Chain A
Amino acid sequence: GAVVSQHPSRVICKSGTSVKIECRSLDFQATTMFWYRQFPKQSLMLMATSNEGSKATYEQGVEKDKFLINHASLTLSTLTVTSAHPEDSSFYICSATPTFIAKNIQYFGAGTRLSVL
């Protein structure tokens, strides 16, 4: 159990285009999902917290108008990188915490490697 699916696993796009990444909890409901970013040889950095039915909370330094987050259901959150540029190339990873389980365990997707040309 506790599987998180992330799609696509890899995307290459031209500068200026938008890219949407989906994160789904397959066998549990998740009121809260998280989005992380990881640059080469660095650790994961939290970008934003996505709450079902409400606006996402962004970490300091993360542009909310550039990284649009939608959490329309208890099993799906999406991250859209708008007007992507080469500096947005990174490994994007989502995670989800099962609702009503007081353990604070996060289950992660496999990640999306974004390359902006």
Chain B
Amino acid sequence: DAKTTQPPSMDCAEGRAANLPCNHSTISGNEYVYWYRQIHSQGPQYIIHGLKNNETNEMASLIITEDRKSSTLILPHATLRDTAVYYCIVRAPMYSGGGADGLTFGKGTHLIIQP
């Protein structure tokens, strides 16, 4: 899996958009960008993933740069419940040579939503 770099912590005001950056300059052509988050004392939660096009779901948007060396997770209207550690993980999907492998978690970004 390609290495990722994230800021250790970020603050965001409640109701504002939270933009979490991730650098993955060594990403390979078949690797996707996945985002998970872990709220304190809970199991991680899948948020979103993408290859090269921007993606949006009910939780967030994912913006991937054209060269795919970095991405940004956007929580459009952050709430206090979005306070968590956010992990950016790069890996190949199943059945594309990546296999069903366990995830390698870095330190992530601790996002704190301020009231």
Contact of A103 among B43, B49, B105 (CB under 8 A): B49
| A108 near B94: Cβ-Cβ < 8 Å | no
Closest chain B CB from A67 CB (angstroms): 14
Closest chain B CB from A111 CB (angstroms): 5
| B49 near A106: Cβ-Cβ < 8 Å | no
Contact of A31 among B49, B91, B100 (CB under 8 A): B100
| A6 near B43: Cβ-Cβ < 8 Å | yes
Count of A interface residues, CB-CB < 8 Å = 29
Provide the bound-state CA to CA distance between A36 and B36, in Å. Answer: 15
Closest chain A CB from B71 CB (angstroms): 17
- B25-71: which have CB < 8 Å to A? 32, 34, 36, 38, 41-46, 49
Provide the residues of chain B in CB contact with A102, threshold 8 Å.
Answer: 93-96
Interface residues on B, range: 20 to 34
Provide the residues of chain B in CB contact with A109, threshold 8 Å.
Answer: 43
Provide the residues of chain B in CB contact with A54, threshold 8 Å.
Answer: none
Interface of B: prevailing SS = loop
Q: Is B16 interfacial (CB-CB < 8 Å)?
A: no
Interface of A: prevailing SS = strand
Q: Is B92 interfacial (CB-CB < 8 Å)?
A: yes
Provide the bound-state CA to CA distance between A43 and B103, in Å. Answer: 11
- A62-106: which have CB < 8 Å to B? 91, 93-95, 97, 101-106
List A residues at the B interface (Cβ < 8 Å): 4, 6, 31-32, 34, 36, 43-46, 49, 59, 91, 93-95, 97, 101-111, 113
List B residues at the A interface (Cβ < 8 Å): 32, 34, 36, 38, 41-46, 49, 87, 91-96, 98, 100-108
Residue contacts A-B, CB under 8 angstroms, 9 given: A32-B100, A95-B44, A95-B103, A97-B94, A102-B93, A104-B34, A104-B100, A108-B45, A113-B41
Q: A44-B103, A46-B102, A95-B103 are in contact. List 13 more A-B contacts (CB 8 A).
A: A43-B105, A43-B106, A43-B107, A43-B108, A59-B102, A97-B100, A102-B96, A104-B94, A105-B34, A108-B46, A111-B41, A111-B42, A113-B41
